Chain A
Amino acid sequence: MDAKLKETILNPIFKGNPITVLVLGICSSLAVTVTMKGALVMALSVIAVTGISSLILSLLRNTIPSRVRIIVQLVVVAMMVILVDQILKSFEATYAIDKQLSVYIGLIITNCIVMGRIEAFALGNKPWPSFLDGVANGAGYGMILIIVAFFRELLGSGTLFGVDILNWLGYVPNNLVILPPFALILLGCIVWVQRSIQKDLQEK
């Protein structure tokens, strides 16, 4: 694999992470991280939307009239989001999670990562790198979601993926952890850890 492609994939995971570095997609990362299951489904949904919409728009990039390009992007992204929502609703295993995530699946369209990557990358690159860029950005977003959800479900409910981990030891679940403000505190801690490892992100 050539170095540029590798950079495309690895950059959004850590060095240019959409949540902790670009500070995009904060809203949903606070809202859907109460349980691991919810966070995982949300992460996979966002990966599917960013990856496939980047691929489609990269294929169309030379035909799109530049005056209406945002509208065309929006139509494609909206289609992907509705497809994901419809598919989640159709399976018994995901129906309840779809209901739990409620509006946040539909709100993937407002997630700045999706349109941002299309505008910044997919419209100027070939389909394969664009697809990888979309998937990698979705994965970078999903990774943070899962880290936050890990702590919130473990400390807030004493479980992971609904399986009892701490409760049988007599742990009393902390209700503060369930509330959105704690997700923001956790997110702050993750940014802190990342910035202390990656010194060039620190402002002078």
Chain B
Amino acid sequence: MNTNSNIYTVIYTTVIVTLVAAILAIVSQSLKSRQEANEKADTISQMMTAAKFATKAELQKMGNTAVLAKYAEEIGQAFIVGPDGKKVSDLPLDKVYSPKELKKQNYNIKGAGTAEIPVFIFKNGTTVVPVYGAGLWGPVWGYIAFEPNSNTIKGAYFDHESETAGLGAKIKDDPEFQNEFVGEKADFSNANIFDIVKGGAPKEADGSSVIDNMIDAITGATMTSNGLDTAIDTWLGAYSAYFKGAVTTKTEEE
């Protein structure tokens, strides 16, 4: 047979490509539930890392089942808030938002629809909210945990899809970067809620921060730092109505 004729070539490539597509579709479908379970446990451990229940490595060692059990034990309430900061509906306590769902809400926040974004409150009062945005090569996202009824940040954890290893990837891998957030305050009365600045945030002689909502960017990863900065401003901006409510309620109670 002439394997170089045009008809043969066209039929051959069509068959090969269709075959490969079918194999990949079948494999993807059959492994989907396992992958989603892994992703869910990973998301939960990110939230719990931000809320300072354990470090990411400790949670990873515990295994998926133990992480889910610990989360079920600690989570107090989860609900969705609308743009006005009012609660829209409750979320099932075992529901978390995958990066894909965050992406959808990210479009909504930017005006494609009505943003309905999740708030997770643990039994100890720690409030965790997600952020999502664009890094240099792909999406970056993460979780910021606030002290009970306050705008003081308790902890943060960030993840990314494909930032440069050793540079942009530090938002995930460098605990020092994430620790910079601890004790900072989100300024909900300002459009610039939180700043990650190049060249260093001003500091006191003892190393403590002068400006409450400003931290250092990552050297060599300006684009990733800027992307994360925008992600945080955009998402915390969407939450600002909720947080203003939550923080004032506290003042009235006192």
Which residues of A are at the interface with B, using a C-beta cutoff of 8 A?
Answer: 31, 62-68, 71-72, 75-76, 78-79, 82-83, 86-87, 89-92, 95-96, 99, 102-103, 178-180
Contact = CB atoms under 8 A, between A and B. Distances in A.
B31 A179 contact: no
Contacts of B34: 90-91
B12 A65 contact: yes
B60 A96 contact: yes
Contacts of B20: 75-76, 78-79
Nearest to A106: B162
Contact of A86 (B8, B31, B161, B162): B31
Contacts of B165: 31, 102, 180
Given A76-B20, A96-B60, A63 B38 contact: no
A82 to B, nearest CB: 6
B4 interface: yes
B24 A72 contact: no
Nearest to B23: A79
The main secondary structure of chain A at its interface with chain B is helix
B16 A90 contact: no
A66 B24 contact: no
A68 B13 contact: yes
Contacts of A99: 42
B64 interface: yes
Interface string B161-173: 1100110010000
A86 B8 CA distance: 32
Contacts, number: 68
Given A90-B35, A102-B162, A180-B166, A65 B16 contact: no
Interface string B39-66: 0011000000000000000001001100
Nearest to A72: B16
A102 B166 CA distance: 13
B112 interface: no
A62 B4 CA distance: 11
B4 A67 contact: yes
Contacts of B166: 178-180
A202 to B, nearest CB: 33
A83 B24 contact: yes
A73 to B, nearest CB: 10
A82 B31 CA distance: 12
B150 to A, nearest CB: 32
Contact of A90 (B38, B60, B161): B38
Nearest to A62: B3
A181 to B, nearest CB: 10
Contacts of B89: none
A78 B42 CA distance: 27
B114 interface: no
25 contacts: A65-B3, A65-B12, A66-B3, A68-B13, A72-B12, A72-B13, A72-B16, A75-B16, A75-B20, A76-B20, A78-B20, A79-B20, A79-B24, A82-B24, A86-B28, A86-B35, A90-B31, A90-B35, A91-B38, A92-B38, A92-B41, A92-B63, A102-B165, A178-B166, A180-B166
